[in-house]
Amino acid sequence: MRFGLNFFPSFRPQDSTTADYYQQCLRIAERADVLGYSSIKTVEHSFYDYGGHSPNPCVFLSAVAARTRRIRLITGAVIPAFHHPAHLGGDLAMLDNMSQGRLDAGFGRAFLPKEFEVYGVPMSESRERFEEAIGMILRLWTEERVSAKGKYWNLEDVHLMPRVV
């Protein structure tokens, strides 16, 4: 059996500052790495007290990567519907490189109405955007140059750098 940690920010601002919460999580991550835990996971959520202090899992996991040596890093999940596939694919590839190949990328469709509203994405497009973005990201990670015309995004002769490890 393996053990991992899931950071889903659900603290009350009156109990702690966001900066203090992040520092506490980073100390826990360092200790988990030393103790042999297998993974650290965090999610992408914004605008809600419950989970909303995690708008960019790549930023948090980059800080974890800098403080650990072997523990796996998991985006559980990033939301492709809210990001251009080339940008999200590049962010994840960069994190994979910075962590020396320790990233396990997880994706999700999102379900919180306020996030869709703020980002200007109709919730009804969630599945289509998810599928289109994932297809493009996988191609960007595995093909030398990618051209693709989608319903929501287009790529024209894109060479993603850095490449995933």
Query: Which domains does the chain show, CATH number per domain?
Result: 4-158 (3.20.20.30)
User: What local confidence, expressed as pLDDT, does residue 100 receive?
Assistant: 98
pLDDT value at position 102? 99
Kind and range of the H or E element at 51? Answer: none
Q: Which residue has the tokens 């693709």?
A: 148
Q: Is the pLDDT of residue 82 over 90?
A: yes
* Predicted pLDDT at 16: 83
Summary count for the chain: helices (H), strands (E): 5, 8
Q: What is the pLDDT of residue 49?
A: 74
Q: What percent of the chain has pLDDT over 90?
A: 84
pLDDT of 9 reads 72
Helix (H, G, I), strand (E, B) or coil at 46: strand
Closest CA to 7 of 72, 54, 67: 54
User: What integer best gives the mean pLDDT of the chain?
Assistant: 94
Q: Rounded mean pLDDT of 65-88?
A: 97
Structure confidence at residue 40 (pLDDT)? 97
Alpha carbon of 48 to those of 9, 40, 53, 54, 143: distances in Å?
10, 22, 8, 10, 37
What is the tens place of the pLDDT at every residue in 3-52? 999 988 777 777 888 899 899 999 999 999 999 999 999 999 888 777 77
pTM tops 0.75, yes or no: yes
| Residue 87 in this model has a pLDDT that exceeds 80 | yes
- Residues 124, 138 contacting (CB under 8 angstroms): no
pLDDT at 10: 74
